[in-house]
Amino acid sequence: MERKTVKGLALFTAAATALVVVPATGASAAPGADTAGAAKITWGQCESPGLQRRGAECGLLDVPLDYSKPNGKKIQIAVSRIKAKVAAKDYQGVMLVNPGGPGGSGLTLSVLGEYVPNGAGQAYDWIGFDPRGVGSSVPALSCDNDYFNGPRPEYIPWNQSIEKTWLDRSKNYAKACGKAGGALLDHMTTVDSVNDMESIRKSLGASQINFYGFSYGTYLGQVYGTLHPKQVRRMVLDGNVDVRKVWYQANLDQDVNFERNERIWFDWVAKYDSVYHLGKTGTEVQLRWYAEQNKLRSKPAGGVVGADEFADIFLYAGYYQSTWLELAEAFAGWANDKNTDLIVAAYENYVAPGDDNGFAVYNAVQCTDTQWPQSWNTWERDNWRTFLKAPFMTWDNAWYNAPCLFWPGKVSKPVKVDGSKVQSVLFVGTTLDAATPFEGSLEARRRFPNSALLAEVGQTTHANSLNGNECVDNVIADYLATGKLPARKQGDKADATCDPLPQPDPTEVSLQAKSLRADSSAVRAPLYPVHH
């Protein structure tokens, strides 16, 4: 499951993903018997400079708003393609990619093939797409672009006034989405997106697809494999959703796992107290962090970064080790020097307020995939209990999901995931993943008997494949090249393991660290899209 797609970033490129469509050639794939008469994509030039440099094609695919009425109203899915670079005899088919969310834009993810080692990605046509309601797909759902502008009301409902404020905000947001989304909100479930994947397959004339899914994308993959097992050739699913817990319990579980990861980061900051001067133990750093957050309750930094925004920025330390250096610099710059420019820049880069498309789609999918508890008393009880163990994220997460109490879209029932008929899946997971705890990868392995699980042991980074760990990435490359999975072991455990890369060392990048403190523009958002 994914988190914070309002803060989401396109994987590997920050380029815009709007489309400029002009006539071009059709799809290259072996036609399947069930693809005759399928809607076609008119391929043209992509607006994204990164995609243009790679010779990608972009287009829009007409799909039914409601698949029970295939001849009814149509919406459009934005699709990109980077073609295979091998001889026809070596061609391995189409590879659809999803970055997660729900609500993450995947249009630029057709570049992912170039990050597969040993040229193994070159044998596939890589297909990026914006799921329905997202980004360049038409219509794109947006309800209130000002919803995340800071400073916002206190997250923790210490009194009934705060609680009422957030319940009202959540209700009003859901109401705004009802007005903005209309009929679309009744057709935003995971199954709807799986049906769109089938439409993309048919439009490309492919009898089967390959699929690479990160985080929430692993849920798309598991549901696709359940509903269309014969259409699955190979799948790599990284950061696996626990299908037993969609979506209410999954969020409560995240809170506890993020608490662990934030404390791991606090310990790391303390290890380098000579650099950051924030405390010599993890506990001292943690207390310093809460002390600084408390000051921001009454006087937000730059009039923008209050207690909520401060928490949102540093939540990223629990997601990605690639953010640790920059976040430590932002923390030290604020706590020691009151560097307002640096902390505000961190908020603008990591939280990216001003566009609620990801947040709107996140709710539209999760609130209608399954029925959430309809009594606020249940939410209140469960979140206070969790808060006692995990104060860092619990109420932030509760209010992030609270529009589901009031969501106007038609609620569905989750698919019972059964992967017994799928012939090949490589599951990947990091054992200290907070957004999609590792138990979800073990459960996925149980449900897909023809799969193997690759674990990066002791790594906190979420959905970490194709991100520089040669051990992990080479297993994936071998699988994509040959279809061979690691041998399945007996018992409830990973079939292959890799050690994590070392944690970052700020003493090795001291000049960069000093420049970060001096130049707030150097604060950059993480490489991967943010997951919930």
For residue 44, list its beta bridge partners.
Answer: 58
- CA-closest candidate to residue 313, choices 391, 402, 392: 392
Question: 388 is written with which tokens?
Answer: 């006692």
d(CA 20, CA 17): 10
| Helix or strand holding residue 126 (H, E) | strand 124-130
Per residue, what are the HEC states of 271-298?
HCHHHHCCCCCHHHHHHHHHHHHHHHHH
β 74-82/451-456 pair status: unpaired
532 classed as catalytic: no
Q: Which of 187, 228, 462, 532 is catalytic?
A: 462
90 classed as catalytic: no
Lookup result for tokens 């319990």:
249
Q: Which of 215, 441, 465, 520 is catalytic?
A: 215
Pair 341, 523: CB distance under 8 Å: no
Question: How many CB atoms sit inside 10 A of residue 205's CB?
Answer: 18
d(CA 106, CA 100): 8
Question: 377 is written with which tokens?
Answer: 């008393």
d(CA 390, CA 290): 13
Pair 349, 526: CB distance under 8 Å: no
Pair 71, 239: CB distance under 8 Å: no
The alpha-helical segments, DSSP class H, found in 155-245 are 160-181, 190-203, 216-227
Lookup result for tokens 């490589």:
426
Lookup result for tokens 């959905």:
463
Find the angle CA(391)-CA(432)-CA(457) to the nearest 5 degrees. Answer: 160
Q: Which of 396, 433, 473, 495 is catalytic?
A: 433
d(CA 153, CA 314): 18
Phi-psi label, residue 460: left if phi above 0, alpha if psi -120 to 50, beta otherwise = alpha
What is the dihedral sign for C-alpha 521, 136, 215, 201?
A: negative
Residue 507, exposed/middle/buried by CB under 10 A (0-12, 13-18, 19+)? exposed
Cβ-Cβ contacts under 8 Å for 321 (sequence gap 6 or more): 459, 460, 461, 503, 504
Phi-psi label, residue 382: left if phi above 0, alpha if psi -120 to 50, beta otherwise = alpha
The alpha-helical segments, DSSP class H, found in 19-159 are 49-53
369 classed as catalytic: no
Pair 241, 215: CB distance under 8 Å: yes
DSSP 301-342: BTTTB-HHHHHHHHGGGGT-GGGHHHHHHHHHHHHHH--HHH
What is the dihedral sign for C-alpha 340, 343, 348, 349?
A: positive
Question: 516 is written with which tokens?
Answer: 């970060």
List, by residue number, the catalytic residues.
215, 433, 462
